[in-house]
Amino acid sequence: MRVSPLSKILLPMVFSQRCRGAARYAEALARHFQAELVLLHVVTPPYSLYAGAGEASAYCDSSAADLVAERLAQSRTELDIFLADAPRDLRVRGVVLEGDPACKIVEYAHAEKFDLIVMPTHGYGPFRRFLLGSVTAKVLHDAECPVWTGPHMEEAPAWESITLRKVACALDLGPQSRVVLAWGGGIAQEFCANLAVLHAIPAATVGLGSYYFDPHWRLQLEKAAQEQIAHLEENLQMHGEVHIEFGDVPTAVSNAARYLQVDLLVIGRSHGAGVFGRLQANAYAILRESSCPVVSI
């Protein structure tokens, strides 16, 4: 089973260095799949920035409308300048919308049936590595299509140098695991990359504080996980090296991806109920701690 071809890729833009890095990943994917790449910039209405619900009407007059029009025009100019550097052999276009950024990104992605959203995380100051940013968090929660993101987008190399040599799927062995392995395994096949399958068993499952349960219990948990993964792999006809980790889930997954030198980590989520299973409480931590881009399905 191969990943469905990506025919439409959405790249939300705020003209930051992180977004420019995300653009390099988006371009590499668009070129590989010969997909259409759409750059979307959302202008936030001025009253949304600094007015409460009761004060918003004070800004909804003609001067506010003029300010919005001015900002829309400025954003279109900035986007045109950015697009001017786009290669002529790439199908790319820009769109400027007005409204709440997260809502507009999700609405536009759904309406236009995009196959993938590529966007960076957006933390602030010394807490940057601990924050996803409200826009990214909401898009991750609400978007129906896969979202490609990561905390180090500004470090992305030129698109020509972006390669996927190893793809890892982090499976919680819940309902979403089949979809995660199918997508991650498909993208690995598409790029002729090696596939790794990661499963983290929480430390609390095998011990409590300084006390550890029967060692045979740990072996049984590991064996059961390996059997479930083997069944999934056989069912999907996708086989990768399996790694069972113990400990704090985000740290175990991130560390495994790091020492395996993974180029892309794939995890599961549901747009209706957040992230499934053990990853529900840990998905954002995995995204923050990952040393490579993460696709959430």
pLDDT beyond 90 at 199: yes
Helices (H), ranges, the chain: 17-33, 46-50, 56-59, 62-84, 101-111, 134-142, 177-190, 203-206, 215-236, 249-259, 279-289
| Portion of the chain with pLDDT greater than 70, in percent | 80
Amino acid occupying residue 36? E
Tokens 């991750």 sit on residue: 140
b/e 119-132 (16+ beta carbons within 10 angstroms → b): bbbbbeeeeeeebb
Dump pLDDT digits (tens) for 126-167: 444 444 567 888 898 889 999 999 887 878 888 888 999 999
Question: What Rg, from alpha-carbon coordinates, does the chain have?
Answer: 21
For residues 102 and 142, the answer to whether their CB atoms sit within 8 Å is yes
- pLDDT of 189 > 70? The answer is yes
Ranges for all domains in the chain classified under CATH 3.40.50.620: 1-158, 163-297
Q: What is the residue-wise DSSP string for 233-272?
A: HHHHT---EEEEEES-HHHHHHHHHHHTT-SEEEE--BTT
CA distance 239 to 270: 24
- Tell how strand 211-212 and strand 207-208 pair up: antiparallel
Among 7-21, 77-91, 222-236, the least confident range? 77-91
- Does domain 1-158 fall under CATH 3.40.50.620? My reply is yes
- In the structure, what pLDDT confidence band is assigned to residue 188 with cuts at 50, 70 and 90? very high
pTM for the predicted model, two decimal places: 0.84
Tally of CB atoms within 10 A around 87 = 10
Q: pLDDT of 83-119, one tens digit each?
A: 887 777 889 999 999 999 999 999 999 999 999 999 9
CATH superfamily of 163-297: HUPs (3.40.50.620)
